[in-house]
Amino acid sequence: MRHFLTLDDFSKDDINEIIQLAISIKKESKEKNFKSYLKNQKLAMIFEKSSTRTRVSFEVGMFELGGYALFLSKKDIQIGRGESIKDTSRVISRMCDMAMLRVNSHDTLDEFAKFSSIPVINGLSDIYHPCQILADYLTMVERDHLGSVAYIGDGNNIAHSWLMLASKIGFELRVATPVGYEVNNEVLSKALKNSEKSCAKIIITNDIKKAIENADVVTTDTWISMGQEEQKAQRIRDFKGFTVNDDMMKLASKNAMFLHCLPAYKEYEVSESVFEKHSDEIFDEAENRLHIQKAIMVWLDKYR
Ligand code: CP
Ligand code: NVA
């Protein structure tokens, strides 16, 4: 049985298999040919934080696959009153077929997975957001944009997931963060180790120009992740100059794509103009959350 907690646990072949599965499931659903790959299966979705895309994509995805998804907000279940993760995991394992968790701390996912007899999916942690990054990769594959990627912004869960993806697949990734907001060293070490095998080129810098010049894909994320609201004023000061705007996009390659995992905060991490010029790509990326979620669940079911 496999869990889906970080792309570090997956090979390049695994990732490509999930992407190909997503492409074929997407094609089937566009033809309204919904196949019940997970007939009668139950997905428990535990949310410690807010969500639009992750909740909707898993819930709709499970419905389209012939199964059922349960939305379990932390504040409504006993975890919120102190029941242990270990016991919650053992109960959910007895009643459901898969679990997806959005958590504050990645340790919660590891603990849940340790006691789970069903596959566990990371729906975002403080360290990684692997479902998102596979949707981003699917969007790149569909649009045949498989060149270098520039990530401009906070060295957060999205940046870490890009590091994992690039280092597994073997593409060039340049991450530009403000000073003091660099990526986690442990994640970077893992990515550099993976890159020895995949021949990925990883560049970490505080210089936006160095990251974005001739990049084929430009991406960013919010400066203020969930749980960092009280740091908002400080972060807005520290991220000055890191807004991806038209002048910055001129430095990228001529037909560069712009991706954003959403939600977007316009005129902070991205200008309204760049966002609207690339809205087709961004909303394809959002839609791809649905198709990739379905592929991840079908893949995990196949390897259980
Ligand atoms: N990108 C993403 O995970 O969106 P939600 O927080 O709305 O789920
Ligand atoms: N970095 C953001 C991603 C939201 C999808 C957060 O953790 O809030």
| 222 ligand 2 Cβ < 6 A | yes
The 3-state secondary structure of 197-226 reads: HHCCEEEEECCHHHHHCCCCEEEECCCCCC
Ligand 1: centre distance to CA 54 (Å): 5
Has 261 been labeled as part of a binding site?
A: yes
CA distance 17 to 295: 9
What tokens were used for 68?
């059922």
pLDDT tens for residues 95-142?
A: 999 999 999 999 999 999 999 999 999 999 999 999 999 999 999 999
Has 226 been labeled as part of a binding site?
A: yes
Has 78 been labeled as part of a binding site?
A: yes
Average the pLDDT over 144-150 and give the result. 96
Q: What is the mean pLDDT of the chain?
A: 98
199 is catalytic: no
Name the band, by pLDDT with cuts 50, 70 and 90, for residue 234: very high
pLDDT tens for residues 249-269?
A: 999 999 999 999 999 999 999
Handedness of CA 275, 278, 280, 282 (dihedral sign): negative
pLDDT tens for residues 63-74?
A: 999 999 999 999
Planar angle of CA 226, 139, 291, nearest 5 degrees: 75
- Which residue shows structure tokens 């819930």? 59
Catalytic residue from among 55, 96, 97, 102: 102
Main-chain phi, psi angles of 196, to 5 degrees: -60, -35
DSSP assignments along 284-297, one per residue: HHHHHHHHHHHHHH
Catalytic residue from among 216, 221, 260, 293: 221
What tokens were used for 212?
């974005």
Identify the residue whose C-alpha is closest to ligand 2 atom 3.
225
Name the band, by pLDDT with cuts 50, 70 and 90, for residue 190: very high
261 is catalytic: yes
**Entry pTM:** 0.97
| 124 ligand 1 Cβ < 6 A | yes
| 51 ligand 1 Cβ < 6 A | yes
Q: What is the pLDDT at residue 272?
A: 98
198-227: b (≥16 Cβ within 10 Å) or e: bebebebeeebeebbeebbbbbbbbbbbbe
Ligand 1: centre distance to CA 244 (Å): 20
What tokens were used for 20?
């190909």
Closest atom of ligand 1 to 57 CA is: 8
Kindly state the greatest CA–CA separation across the chain: 55
Beta strands in the chain (DSSP E): 42-47, 68-73, 98-102, 120-122, 149-152, 172-176, 201-205, 217-220, 257-260
Q: What is the pLDDT at residue 71?
A: 98
Residue pair 286/262 in contact by the 8 Å Cβ criterion: yes
CA distance 271 to 285: 18
Write down all domains in the chain, each with its CATH number in brackets: 3-129+289-302 (3.40.50.1370), 132-286 (3.40.50.1370)
102 is catalytic: yes
Has 108 been labeled as part of a binding site?
A: no
Q: What is the pLDDT at residue 270?
A: 98
Average the pLDDT over 214-222 and give the result. 98
Question: What ranges in 79-146 are assigned the alpha helix state H?
Answer: 85-95, 106-114, 130-142
CA distance 258 to 63: 31
Q: What is the pLDDT at residue 170?
A: 98
DSSP 9: G
| 60 ligand 2 Cβ < 6 A | no
| 261 ligand 2 Cβ < 6 A | yes
Strand partners, 172: 201
| 135 ligand 1 Cβ < 6 A | no
- Between strands 42-47 and 68-73, the pairing is parallel
106 is catalytic: no
Ligand 1: centre distance to CA 290 (Å): 12
CA distance 97 to 250: 48
pLDDT tens for residues 275-288?
A: 999 999 999 999 99
